[in-house]
Structure 1
Amino acid sequence: MSDRVLITGGANGIGAAIAARGRADGFDVVVADRAGGDVVVDLTDVDATRAALETELARGPITRLVNNVGAVFPAAVEEQRPEEMQAAWDLNVRPALTCMQALLPGMKAAGFGRVVNVSSRAALGKELRTAYSATKAALLGMTRTWALELAGHGITVNAVGPGPIATDLFERANPPDSPRTRAIVEAVPVGRIGRPEDVAHAVAYFLDSGSGFVTGQTLYVCGGLTVGLSE
């Protein structure tokens, strides 16, 4: 099997932490991101993404995939614009399918694959997140469907759902001086905001070759926010 792993949106934030952890774990990491990396491409452009991945796969198969790229588009329901909903779909959902389809032949040929979709705790519902929560919930449906379709090929498909994580993306959508942001952080049962490395650790478990009996699952990396009354 290949020890190569493709990480979308791996130039910054959570994606960069996942890439760093992958390298530390001995994987040959391939970052696809318009902001930089091994494959510099606008992942919302299907044709460009397919062409870039075809070039990369000519160097050898990639049997591990982390669909991490995404953006938030915060707005109240009456203010969420249709073009924002489309933009959320184009970045948060469609690249996952494009990359999956590109890598899948190599995974099937190897009889092995590990796929991790980075969703969000917001998929369970969060104010001001119509486009974001809808698209992140879509990733969970895809996760379960792909897990069922591909289990017989030795391919597992799982998801992680980060809660509040200290990244530039989180701070842009949740200004640090906002009472709403302070309330979010104070509600975390473990008493702190998450770090990108917390998410990378969860992803590393699903990428491991020893995780072959776990598929179709979602692991919330949220400090306990999805538990009981904290939800």
Structure 2
Amino acid sequence: MLVTGGASGIGRAIAEEGLARGWDVVVIDREAAPVGTGVKADLADADSTRAALEEALAAGPITRLVNNVGAVFPGALQEQSLAEVDAAYQLNLRCAVQCAQALLPGMTQAGFGRIVNMASRAALGKELRTAYAASKAGLIGLTRVWALELGPLGITVNAIGPGPIATELFAKANDEERTRQIVEAVPVRRMGTPDDIAHSAGYFLDERAGFVTGQTVYVCGGLTVGVAQV
């Protein structure tokens, strides 16, 4: 299993979930990975990503992929720079395409593959998230397209849309007052944890989940109820 951005937060929890299920886990991150086999790379850079993928695949095909890496780039429309929009695309979206393309030959040969794209509840609409929401909504679109294209090959593709999860990334993008308001709006009245997301990812990655593809599950404590279409 390959997890991008798996050195901390949600990615680390997913890597730990994979190890607990007995899978070999490779983590690509700019930081040293505390779990699994680590490959250091700047995933915002296509050449660095390419080199890391070659290193990760040197030991053989990888049939499970979690496109987890991402960054928020908060800002109102009038403040969002085009450089931030480009950066969001490169890290949150281009990287996912590049990783999927690299692993696809091995999945195709095996007649089996699991791809999980880490989207966001923000794809449904959230203030101060022009660059982030656009890139995460793009991941949902890719999930649906890839599910149609890759299903005949035995490869499923699904997405997870986390709600407010207690991670360093969330803390950097939300101040204390904003966090309080968010928690009060969550029906279960708490922040989510990385383990909440890892549990859902483990389901999609399981061999027994072969009849579920093209779906987006919002792991958000009920925050999207009344927002997401049925």
Smaller-chain TM-score range? over 0.9
Structure 2: any 5+ residue segments left out of the alignment?
none
Q: Quick check: 1:16 aligned with 2:12?
A: yes
- CA positional deviation for 1:230: 9.8
Q: Distance in 2 between matches of 1:121 and 1:73?
A: 15
Q: How many residues of Structure 1 are paired with residues of Structure 2 in the alignment?
A: 225
One-letter identity of the residue aligned with 2:182: I
In structure 1, the partner of 2:198 is: 200
Task: Trace 1:52-201 onto structure 2 (pairs within 5 A).
Answer: 52-175=52-175, 177-178=176-177, 180-201=178-199
Q: TM-score, normalising length from structure 1?
A: 0.95
Match of 2:24 in 1: 28
Supply the RMSD in Å over aligned alpha carbons: 1.3
The SS at the match of 2:66 is strand
**Partners of 1:188 and 1:230 within 8 A in 2:** no
Contact persistence 1:111–1:155 (CA under 8 A)? yes
How many Å apart are 1:186 and its aligned residue?
A: 0.5
SS at match of 2:73: coil
Q: Is the 8 A contact 2:28 2:52 kept in 1?
A: no
Report the Cα distance in structure 1 between the residues aligned to 2:53 and 2:227, rounded to whole angstroms.
44
Q: How does the TM-score come out when normalised to structure 2?
A: 0.95
Identity of aligned residues (%): 67
Q: Deviations over 1:185-216 (max 9, x none)?
A: 10000111100000000000000000000000
Q: 1:219 aligns with which of 208, 217, 220?
A: 217
Unaligned ranges ≥5, structure 1: none
Contact kept in structure 2, 1:8 and 1:68, CA below 8 Å: yes
Deviation at 1:229, TM superposition (A): 6.6
- Large movers: runs of 4+ above 3 Å: none
